[in-house]
A and B are shown apart, each in its own frame.
Chain A
């Protein structure tokens, strides 16, 4: 069965600092991995996805993630945090059948001025 684990329920960074949100996955088949962002009282917006091919994936708003099969990881990074990045971030994987998106517990990102 597929699952994802997000390390750290809360991450706090200063504006302009590196953002690193950690995600490890478990999958019995080649995984399709996603990062979603959720602002307060909003739906989820896709930041980026990994399906096949290049392991470094670039997304919207300057975010990127690297798929590392040997480490079963898919960490999300951004070189310089902006106040508008403060939100909840969910790492996700689709299940074997493809119909279900399995979410991690989420990481709340705080950005300090």
Chain B
């Protein structure tokens, strides 16, 4: 199994809503990532988890809250988002973030629209 599965595929939420994005992988990878991708732009790193611990936060606003319940799951909790947060949110995993030759496997993404 070389898949990273993200749910939901599409999400529309109001600015006062609370929602969560989910990501799952069963490749035994110990590093998991959240990326944000705006239209016609490359993905931008948001968070990195290594061995279920938050290792990197790329100065992401607190309205985005990541969680790693176990080595296979990664969540992104959303609260009080703004319309400019509308984007494709990509989850990725890699074997180990300390091994630079480990490529990242990406999920299909969640298309988020904030209204």
- Report the bound CA distance from A99 to B88 in whole Å: 21
- Report the bound CA distance from A103 to B31 in whole Å: 18
B50 within 8 A of A: yes
Instruction: Please give, as numbers and ranges, the residues of chain A lying within 8 Å of B50 by CB-CB distance.
Output: 99
| B99 in complex: contacting residue of A49, A98, A100, CB < 8 Å | A98
User: CB-CB contacts of A4-43 with B at 8 A, as 1s and 0s?
Assistant: 0000000000000000000000000000101010000111
Instruction: Please give, as numbers and ranges, the residues of chain B lying within 8 Å of A46 by CB-CB distance.
Output: 103-105
A44 within 8 A of B: yes
User: CB-CB contacts of A73-90 with B at 8 A, as 1s and 0s?
Assistant: 000000000000000001
Q: Provided the pairs A90-B42, A105-B42 are in contact, do residues A99 and B109 lie with their beta carbons within 8 angstroms?
A: no
Central interface residue in B45, B92, B103, by most chain A CB within 10 Å: B103
Question: How many residues does chain B have at the interface if contact means C-beta atoms less than 8 Å apart?
Answer: 29
20 additional contacts (CB under 8 A) given A36-B106, A51-B100, A104-B42: A32-B100, A41-B109, A42-B108, A43-B108, A43-B109, A44-B43, A44-B92, A45-B106, A49-B103, A51-B101, A52-B101, A90-B43, A97-B97, A98-B97, A99-B48, A99-B56, A101-B45, A101-B104, A103-B42, A105-B41
**12 pairs, A vs B, C-beta closer than 8 Å:** A32-B100, A41-B88, A42-B108, A43-B107, A43-B108, A43-B109, A44-B90, A46-B105, A49-B101, A51-B101, A90-B42, A90-B43
B residues near A (Cβ < 8 Å) are 4, 6, 31, 40-43, 45, 48, 50, 55-56, 88, 90, 92, 97-109, 111
